[in-house]
Structure 1
Amino acid sequence: MAKPKVRIPKLRDFQSVEMVAVTGDKFNHPGLTNFLGSLQCASCVMGIQHLTFPPFSQGDIELGMLTINDVCIMTSGLPVTYRWRPDRIDRTVRVGDIDVSTTTVMGVGSQTATIRLKLANRRKKRQHLEIRVRTGGGVIQSRDGWKTPYSPKEGPAISVTPWEGAPPPESLVTNTRHVNETQKTLVYGSRTSDAYSLQGMSVIPDSIDRSWFDHALDLGPKEEATLYYFVAVGSDPVVLEDQFESWQADPSLSIAASRKDWEKEIEAVFTPGNDRYSGHLPLLDTSNKNLRRLYLNTIISVIYLKRDHPLSAYGKTYATIMPRYWVASCFINDWSMSAYLLAMLDPEVLRTTIELWLTRDIYSHFGTDYVSGTNSGNWYSCNDYAMIRLISAYVRVTGDQAWLDTQVGSRSVLQHVRTMAEHHVELTTEHGLPDFGDRNSLLEAVGAYTHEVASLSAATVWQLREVADLLEYRGELSETSRYRTMAADLVPEIQKLYIQGGGYWACRQPDGELVPVRHAWDFVHTLNFIHDDLPGNQKEEMIQFFEQELMSPSWMSALSPLDEDVGFSRRLDHEWNGSWPGWVALATSALMKNDRIDLLVRWLPGLTRSTKQGPFAQAQFIEKYADPIAGGARKGPTEWPYINDWAAMCVGGFFETIVYEMFGVEHPWSGDLMAYPHLRHFDQEASLFNVPHHGDLYDIHPKP
């Protein structure tokens, strides 16, 4: 196959716009990863927080916080400008007549971070500067401390209160702290585990005052000075000291190394046979800048969650969100949202992770954490659908039919599939639909969305039909007929939940009460999974509801602002003030499937503006609730009451809308890849190169 002429994306293709914030704004500070762990900028021109390399963590401790001439940047109210790129974060602020700029990177293959601090005197006379850089401890190594949203740390935890029971022992002690007199570094040590955090400067501080590095500088007119701050985390302080000595010889190399490594990472993503993934992703060639930006931002959102730590209980994996919450957890549902992207990019990791989950009771947890390798959380009632979707995507893309007969635990993969496909029968009530549980099994943040719901009932129809198609291919025709009959029988039962004329659905309670809930989950699942079963006027009503009550210029509400439950929560991933990007992505495919390409064409520029803050967040605000950034939906912050993280992997639906709806790609169980493009309204000349299917590569482009 000829090498495509389109270029591999550059780091600049992913970078954010400049974003300005002061402490207390509705702002989600940018994060970084080096695939061993992650960090997040603090509300400061220099500081970082949430530094984790699971099983190592410094929790929510702030590190490298800057004070200049008694002006603490975090508390000053000064506006800090941020710009993210995959390999680095640049920040600037003006303190009097001093221009302050920093660049933050993570170490390549090491549990380290580097911050370069530049100070420029803009006065016409000499200035004296007192620079203070605050270090921090909290470091711990924990194998079992990743079962809550918060990363572990050693030290007082503000969330531990008497009514929550006995506080964990690591919250009752603080790290040791000592000065390495030879290197003039500060070394924090855990009292409860083998963990240390070494922090130092490129220039020996004039003094070390408890947790502060102090420097006195005199800058002449227009003169500049550069300092570097370094943090290394690990189990052996001698190794950390060696890392610091090597780093101090030329700290600037860390920034160059990060750039080069990320350039190789991006190249690997789009290169068949690369040495970083077990697969690759298609290369998109298009003159439609909105389409290209959406495609690339979806990809960086997923690969930013790749984790490959040598102490992982099950090797390379993908976390769900970062960098503050659940940083070591892998949620089954979120993986399923990016199923086809993962099946192309890293099919071996996808297969081994599916096998891991097949050995667990998926009715008692929502996923696993890769540090302990054990189950996490409570039952998510979407798990059956999510697992079948992951398995289907893997087999359709790779063609690995033999794997379905592989024993995983006590059964073959296909037997597991059948069990999951029929689990809804055990959940079905006297009313005719499965009871999917309380809010904690469903949307969590929407109190009224409980029990018998249209969304997962429609997903059940899809999974029955998908399994039926698979069984038909394998020649099991009697089972094929049975599964299709079960699916057909569910559709009229689902329709009983529809609010005629409203465009939305009700949730049926155990006593039979129908509670109307105007939520996006019902909209996206019914129009993606049973759209061919719905009459045209009903689909028109639903899309009208979406356009009038959910859709915004650059994002959407997950819950209609007219719903009676809008006062339940401000957690914007599932509420009225914003949305989880998974719902937004599924809404784009719903519009394609239901012949409303015109509406998607109108929406696409706004959605693209919402990519200009870096990877998609766990949720982003609608414009009425928070001012947009660069015309796009602002990321929701990690703090209460919003508690949404900076990056999430659930966005694979955008990838699927482009590849499977716009380009019309289909993966039959056997035979060649098929494609039926619908590109007229987007870019008739667009092409996809190196689309993997059953071990072969295909190009999809206009015919000559």
Structure 2
Amino acid sequence: MKKQIYTAYFILVFCVLSSLSGFAFQNLPNTVSADSASKRAAILGIPTLDDLAGDWIPMEQVANMPAVHNFHHMLVVNRDLTSYFYYPGGLYPWKKGHPMTTLTIDGQEYPATETRCFPYKALRRNQYCNGTSVETDTRMINEARNVMCRITATNTTIVPRRITLALRVPGKLMADGIGVSNDTQRPGVISIVRPARKPDAVAVEKDAIVWRWIQELPKGGTMSIGFTAGDEVSAKVAQTNIDVTKWAASFNEYFDDCKTNWENRWADAFIPGNKHFSGHLPTLKSNDPALMRNYYVGVWTMLALERTQFPVHKRSFITSGEREDGTQYYWDASMQATAWALLEPVGMKATLRRWLVQNPRSGQASGYALDLRNVKGFDTNHYDHINGYAFDACTIFKTTDEYLRATNDRAFLDEKLENGKTVLETLDALATDWETLPKGHDGLADYGENNNLLECAPAYINCIASCNAQDIWMMRQTAKWYVLHGDGMRAKELDAKAAALLPKVMSLYKAGDGVWNAWQLNGKRVELRHCVDFIYTGNALKRDLSATQKSEMVSFVKNELLTRDWMRAMSLKDSAAKNSDRPDHGPMGAYDGWIPLTVNTMWNLGDPAGAYAFYCRTAVVTSEGPFAQAREFYGPNRTGYDAPVRIAERQGCMKECISGVAFSDVVITTFFGFAPEAGSAGILADPSTSCPFSGELYNIHFNGKEVTLKADPKGVKIISER
């Protein structure tokens, strides 16, 4: 019944919004008041921020609590009603950051029993506080070191009564007798907390200050209090106090602005010629609520992870908010490559200049991720094996290739990078990096051990199909760029290398099962039943696989990996399943990015209907909020097809993750087939493929025009270019 209500609601909402999508987007204001900001989404025909919100979730079902982002920082709310974790510079492992301000109602502290996630706020509530219902709303001011919390208490009894709310703030009382300062949460940093309205009483306790408000409430009557907090290095304490005092004095105005700024950023993301982004995303219109939901929640995820304070570019996208400030993992970010190229091509190009000089085998931090705080420098050491992630070479390559194809920025191929090489020369180096790696059976490249690959799949090591297949794809793709560049000789060399490697990779296929083997350096041939081989080998070799092999591979995924609402990264039948319980890569859950990547490969291997149906089934998980690093199955039925699923927190899984933008990316590149190729005039991958849905994708910016695509069971076609 819950799913039926969910479906009916979104059909109604999105049909109404979609009917408005014919307005001229370029005429919308870019800087607007709070009232007009709330109308921009409706004019655009996209969901509002409140439409995007998750459901109220019982706290006992939540493993990873809701987060709030303000385009500089994030916070994660706690399991009580008012405290939170906020630590600019890196929240994980969990650090308090600010004083843990806690609430009592008539002298009693109550836990939050439910929580709800919005793009601009996190709600918590307990409706049963001995005759009082309490709901709290936590937000952050745009691009500021700030937290705001509003507390609303309601008398739920049938008689008038006096209610006492109290906030306990760890720290010292300031000179004005109200504000609280705290220098114990972070070395060299002082936090200041102030109430939104003057307390009726202030008490000094050991290591804490208590503010109390007492109010007579009629039956159903409400009272509201709030507080705001800010922090800075100790030398800036005076300015911090000025800021927090200002925020507290105009609490309602700043509180509302938290939403207004998010609304404007949300609308800007879809408006050609907006004043914030250097590009824009397409607007999706469809009567399928699940398709609409996943697409727009993917964009929400992307904007939540936008950061505007890093020197690489003022509009950057981090991997997850909890990680060390400015961390951008290549692998995760590669999954949003086309969406990134459409929304922020200028920032993406600036970032790729840094990606392309990094050493894909590095043993330094850059062997996994880019630090967006650094504008130059790279690891010049030569390593005879991979020290970082084995997928670095192909994900850096893939992201650059998608930028080139989506933007048609061919001049970038000739641009010289910090290391003196051109972009094309660097693509060539990435595509052929495997040639000097250690070799295993039949000359297949050794891609390292567990820490280089899936980190929790002990058998997924050494000469794996996925990375070796990506080598074939990269060489073929580089050959296309060389042909376009007028170097047919190098193109032929690369195509010949790919042709020589192909049978070696194909020999790893296990006929009849639809899975791939790996050769380990101990001489063992090991069967692997994991989605990563399906995704990366299937896509790289989609033109080389036979119809039987494609069918077998899709059957493996549908029979062993897909569940009702999610998927297993590893099959329960994999020999390592009992020893691989991490939510993102094991059998008891999946990294969020694997779902749209699996959908893409299923579609490309000949099952668009199955791919689309699975994609839409997963929309139910967004009741918890945006896309995360991983979701896990939980409870006694966790091995079942209908196992309940939630955002994971254990073993280092983060709240939001940029890989979740792939839920939007796959709509653009796969369902609507926007996939320009090097040297091809067309922009559609396969316009004749019957689509198992109907919809339009407006304003795809390509080659100086805004293109609109229409998809239906007859295929995909361009219906306008302007």
Q: Name the TM-score, length of structure 1 as normaliser.
A: 0.86
| C-alpha distance in 2 between matches for 1:100 and 1:414 | 59
Corresponding letter in the other structure for 1:263: E
**1:120 corresponds to:** 154
Q: Describe the superposition over 1:195-228 as per-residue Cα deviations: whole angstroms up to 9, x where unpaired.
A: 2211121234422422343315243332322110
CA shift, 1:293, in A, is 0.9
* Selected match of 2:64 from 28, 33, 36: 28
- The 1:183–1:697 alpha-carbon spacing in structure 2 relative to 1, beyond 3 Å, is farther
Structural mapping, 1:10-29, within 5 Å? 10-22=48-60, 25-29=61-65
**1:331 corresponds to:** 329
Structural mapping, 1:432-443, within 5 Å? 432-443=443-454
Q: Quick check: 1:92–1:101 contact (8 Å CA) kept in 2? A: yes
Q: Quick check: 2:190–2:237 contact (8 Å CA) kept in 1? A: yes
- The 1:671–1:426 alpha-carbon spacing in structure 2 relative to 1, beyond 3 Å, is closer
Q: Does 1:219 align with 2:216?
A: yes
| C-alpha distance in 2 between matches for 1:240 and 1:299 | 33
Q: Does 1:88 align with 2:98?
A: no
CA shift, 1:515, in A, is 1.7
CA shift, 1:481, in A, is 1.2
Q: Quick check: 1:659–1:665 contact (8 Å CA) kept in 2? A: yes
- The 1:656–1:508 alpha-carbon spacing in structure 2 relative to 1, beyond 3 Å, is same
- The 1:59–1:673 alpha-carbon spacing in structure 2 relative to 1, beyond 3 Å, is farther
Q: Quick check: 1:617–1:635 contact (8 Å CA) kept in 2? A: no
**2:77 corresponds to:** 41
| C-alpha distance in 2 between matches for 1:134 and 1:457 | 58
| C-alpha distance in 1 between matches for 2:299 and 2:637 | 26
Q: Describe the superposition over 1:360-400 as per-residue Cα deviations: whole angstroms up to 9, x where unpaired.
A: 32321111233466889961111111111111111112222
Q: Quick check: 1:332–1:366 contact (8 Å CA) kept in 2? A: yes
Q: Which runs of 5+ in 1 are unaligned?
A: 137-176
Structural mapping, 1:409-558, within 5 Å? 409-427=419-437, 429-431=439-441, 432-558=443-569
- The 1:226–1:358 alpha-carbon spacing in structure 2 relative to 1, beyond 3 Å, is same
Q: Quick check: 2:286–2:696 contact (8 Å CA) kept in 1? A: yes
**1:367 corresponds to:** 369
**Matched position secondary structure for 2:578:** coil
**1:587 corresponds to:** 598
Corresponding letter in the other structure for 1:289: P
Q: Quick check: 2:306–2:315 contact (8 Å CA) kept in 1? A: yes
Corresponding letter in the other structure for 1:334: D
| C-alpha distance in 1 between matches for 2:708 and 2:521 | 51
CA shift, 1:336, in A, is 0.9
* Selected match of 1:66 from 99, 103, 107: 103
Q: Quick check: 1:582–1:650 contact (8 Å CA) kept in 2? A: yes
**Matched position secondary structure for 2:135:** strand
Q: Does 1:383 align with 2:392?
A: yes
| C-alpha distance in 2 between matches for 1:267 and 1:73 | 38
**2:623 corresponds to:** 612
**Matched position secondary structure for 2:469:** helix
Q: Quick check: 1:320–1:327 contact (8 Å CA) kept in 2? A: no
| C-alpha distance in 2 between matches for 1:414 and 1:703 | 31
Range that drifts further, 244-253 or 387-396: 244-253
Range that drifts further, 352-361 or 96-105: 352-361
Corresponding letter in the other structure for 2:277: Y
Structural mapping, 1:197-236, within 5 Å? 197-205=191-199, 206-209=202-205, 210-222=207-219, 223-235=221-233, 236=236
**Matched position secondary structure for 1:411:** coil
| C-alpha distance in 2 between matches for 1:233 and 1:402 | 45
| C-alpha distance in 2 between matches for 1:208 and 1:453 | 63
CA shift, 1:469, in A, is 1.0
Q: Name the TM-score, length of structure 2 as normaliser.
A: 0.84
CA shift, 1:553, in A, is 0.8
**1:143 corresponds to:** none
Q: Describe the superposition over 1:222-274 as per-residue Cα deviations: whole angstroms up to 9, x where unpaired.
A: 23221102111223111111112212223112231012111111111001121
Q: Does 1:272 align with 2:269?
A: no
CA shift, 1:480, in A, is 1.0
CA shift, 1:561, in A, is 1.2
| C-alpha distance in 2 between matches for 1:92 and 1:548 | 40
Q: Describe the superposition over 1:530-574 as per-residue Cα deviations: whole angstroms up to 9, x where unpaired.
A: 122112222222222111110001110001112221232422000
**1:163 corresponds to:** none
Number of matched pairs: 651
Q: Does 1:105 align with 2:164?
A: no
| C-alpha distance in 2 between matches for 1:85 and 1:636 | 15
CA shift, 1:442, in A, is 0.5
**Matched position secondary structure for 2:88:** strand
| C-alpha distance in 2 between matches for 1:375 and 1:411 | 13
- The 1:662–1:113 alpha-carbon spacing in structure 2 relative to 1, beyond 3 Å, is same
| C-alpha distance in 2 between matches for 1:298 and 1:553 | 20
**In percent, how many aligned pairs have the same letter?**
22
Q: Does 1:662 align with 2:671?
A: yes
CA shift, 1:192, in A, is 8.2
Q: Describe the superposition over 1:473-524 as per-residue Cα deviations: whole angstroms up to 9, x where unpaired.
A: 1121111111112222222111222223222122211132112221110011
Q: Quick check: 1:105–1:254 contact (8 Å CA) kept in 2? A: no
Q: Describe the superposition over 1:416-453 as per-residue Cα deviations: whole angstroms up to 9, x where unpaired.
A: 11111110111251522111111111111212211111
CA shift, 1:283, in A, is 0.9
**1:649 corresponds to:** 658
CA shift, 1:652, in A, is 3.6
Q: Quick check: 2:181–2:192 contact (8 Å CA) kept in 1? A: yes
Q: Quick check: 2:595–2:615 contact (8 Å CA) kept in 1? A: no
Q: Quick check: 1:331–1:367 contact (8 Å CA) kept in 2? A: yes
Q: Which runs of 5+ in 2 are unaligned?
A: 1-21, 26-42, 380-385, 711-716
- The 1:211–1:190 alpha-carbon spacing in structure 2 relative to 1, beyond 3 Å, is closer
| C-alpha distance in 2 between matches for 1:265 and 1:471 | 39
- The 1:65–1:506 alpha-carbon spacing in structure 2 relative to 1, beyond 3 Å, is farther
| C-alpha distance in 1 between matches for 2:378 and 2:415 | 23
Corresponding letter in the other structure for 1:52: P
| C-alpha distance in 2 between matches for 1:65 and 1:471 | 62
Range that drifts further, 327-336 or 217-226: 217-226
- The 1:527–1:238 alpha-carbon spacing in structure 2 relative to 1, beyond 3 Å, is same
**1:354 corresponds to:** 352
**1:396 corresponds to:** 405
Q: Does 1:694 align with 2:703?
A: yes
**Matched position secondary structure for 2:623:** coil
CA shift, 1:6, in A, is 5.6
**Matched position secondary structure for 1:666:** coil
| C-alpha distance in 2 between matches for 1:249 and 1:213 | 19
